[in-house]
Amino acid sequence: MSERRNIENLHLSEQGANLISEREGCILTAYLDSRGTLTIGIGHTSAAGPPKVAQGMTITQNKAMQIFRDDNARFRHQCLPLVRSPLHQHEFDALASFVFNLGATQFRGSTALKRLNQGDYAGCAEAMLFWNKPPEVMSRRRGEHDQFLNLQHVARA
């Protein structure tokens, strides 16, 4: 296995992007997610940044992919000052999925980040599982947990 690298030197891999896309799904018409948040494309919400999601909004597949790329770039940029421990690519990809779903604000105060920055990689993966609401998110969390630990790379476990 390659050495861990600083987050500045890592970008979401194609496999990581595919897993996030599979975890989120792609819906081209605005809908309310399980928490009642307007969502479109590959898990995009207004909280992630532009474009603002509006009731009845529709987008194309190409637009959904562009928004997804922009969202991932924003999340990476937001995480740069937070993550101080080096990561393997699979750890970065799992963390990207976790933060994509949680949001950088929630991640900033998370036990997962605290443990990661203490060099406790197993503890970080375990703490990802603490984010267990709504209950239907748990298969995703197990997938991110397993991906972080390099046990398996599946969308949901």
Q: How many CA atoms lie within 13 A of 142 on its CB side?
A: 7
The yes-or-no answer on residue 3 being catalytic is: no
- Stated as kind and residue range, the H or E segment containing 28 is strand 27-32
Q: How far apart are CA 157 and CA 22, in angstroms?
A: 12
Catalytically annotated residue among 14, 24, 91, 126: 24
The yes-or-no answer on residue 136 being catalytic is: no
Catalytically annotated residue among 22, 33, 71, 120: 33
Peptide bond into 86 cis (omega under 30): no
80 class by beta-carbon count within 10 Å (0-12 exposed, 13-18 middle, 19+ buried): exposed
Return all residues near 8 (Cβ < 8 A) that are at least 6 apart.
80
Instruction: Give catalytic residues, as residue numbers.
Output: 24, 33
